[in-house]
Amino acid sequence: MEVTPVSTKTYETVKLERENGITWVILNRPDKKNAMTPQMHMEMLDVLDELEFDPETKVLALTGAGNSFCAGQDLKEFIVDQMKNGRERARYGWAASEWRWRRLYYFPKPTIAMVNGFCFGGGFTQLIACDFALSADEATYGLSEVNWGSFPGGLVSRVLAEALTYRDAMNLIMTGDTFDGKQASAMRLVTASYPLTQLRAETVKLAEKLMSKNLHTLRACKEVYKHVKNMDYTDAEDYMWAKMDALNALDPGVRDRGITDFAVEKKYKPGFDAHSGADKP
């Protein structure tokens, strides 16, 4: 597949920054706590299109401008203003779910959500879609829909099952209580939580660890897990054999090199570092 360079496009609701293989995708409506609008949904679809084939993007880090990760949907712009236009409402509803779940969940490169502040409602979808989520201890989370006569929609209620136990999910959905990053880590909504002053450095550290490994293998790791968990054992086994063939086609001999490095050449120890093929793109 031909790799094309990232374009020079600019966006009004999203900002992109590069840092040594990391592309920071920053939701950029700080005055509105990065609440999502139809325009943001359309722009994020385009951003993910660009970065999927951008050779400079090894890891995608998703965060928010100001003191928020994402406060959910901008209810006025996303719902109230679209109520009388069924066609546009359907279009923007599709875009909202498309980028926040299907595109981000299966994005072919490692993804990290860096939760720097408020995360409410619809913001949970892209949080859970990312492979990793690092939070500030000071971040505030909540599913407040119950307090205004609704339930967490837009896939939120479904994707919670990917990250939380039944008891934790019911507690959040039915009470509307808020909680901080440490609590989010304890319930495994996020991978880990750190003081806000350390959050970016810890995100970079994780991204660097991922970039030290073979990127084709990383893609196979996430795709295999996310597909086979809903298969029966026979289908899963068939899929994984096919996926191994596909991985070897993308990077011929990657598995054999790793096994040789370990079993014959004694070049690495599993669990301590990456094998000698890890620097291959």
If asked whether residues 187 and 64 sit together in one domain, one would say yes
Exposure letters 224-235 (e unless 16+ CB within 10 A, then b): beeebeeeeeee
Bridge partner list, 116? none
- Quickly list H helices, 98-155: 104-105, 123-129
% the chain with pLDDT above 70 = 82
Q: Is residue 9 part of a domain?
A: no
At residue 37, does pLDDT exceed 80?
yes
If asked whether residues 141 and 96 sit together in one domain, one would say yes
If asked whether residues 147 and 258 sit together in one domain, one would say no
pLDDT in tens, 120-140: 999 999 999 999 999 999 999
If asked whether residues 117 and 240 sit together in one domain, one would say no
If asked whether residues 104 and 197 sit together in one domain, one would say yes
If asked whether residues 105 and 24 sit together in one domain, one would say yes
Residues 6+ apart with CB under 8 A from 117: 33, 64, 66, 67, 68, 69, 136, 138, 139, 140
Q: Is residue 8 part of a domain?
A: no
pLDDT in tens, 149-185: 889 888 999 999 999 999 999 999 999 999 999 999 9
SS3 137: coil
Q: What's the structural domain count of the chain?
A: 2
Give the CATH number of the domain where residue 93 resides.
3.90.226.10
Q: Higher confidence at residue 176 or residue 265?
A: 176
If asked whether residues 153 and 229 sit together in one domain, one would say no
Cα four-point dihedral sign 53, 58, 59, 63: negative
If asked whether residues 38 and 169 sit together in one domain, one would say yes
If asked whether residues 128 and 248 sit together in one domain, one would say no
What is the domain extent for residue 238? Answer: 215-263
The predicted pLDDT at position 158 comes to: 94
Total-model pTM: 0.87
Q: Is residue 48 part of a domain?
A: yes
If asked whether residues 77 and 207 sit together in one domain, one would say yes
